[in-house]
Amino acid sequence: MRKLMVKQKAQKGQSASMEDYLEAIANLGEGRKVVRVKQISQMLGVKMPSVTSALRKLSEQELVEHERYGHIKLTREGNKVAPQCDSQT
């Protein structure tokens, strides 16, 4: 069942793991001014280089804004996509 969900999500443009990152950024960003790589790493239980790699991909897709050693935030498009990810799980 999980494999089918992952395949369906990938067809919609985002892999399941990329959706997890978008959801984490959205959740951490609520009520905060700043989201950092370390917070995402801790929330998802992954290494910080994995987060950085995912952020690079999401940034290329213009879903997040991230400067090296800086803050992370969802773009306008990222804010549209993140709630859709959450509702599909």
* pTM for the predicted model, two decimal places: 0.76
Those residues with Cβ within 8 angstroms of residue 88's Cβ, 6 or more apart along the chain or in another chain: 5, 9, 19
Per the listing, tokens 């050693």 go with 69
User: Alpha-carbon Rg of the chain, whole angstroms?
Assistant: 12
**pLDDT tens digit at each of 89 positions of the chain:** 333 343 334 435 678 889 999 999 999 988 777 899 999 999 999 999 999 999 999 999 999 999 888 899 999 998 888 776 655 54
**What ranges do the domains of the chain cover?**
13-88
Class (C level, CATH) for 13-88: mainly alpha
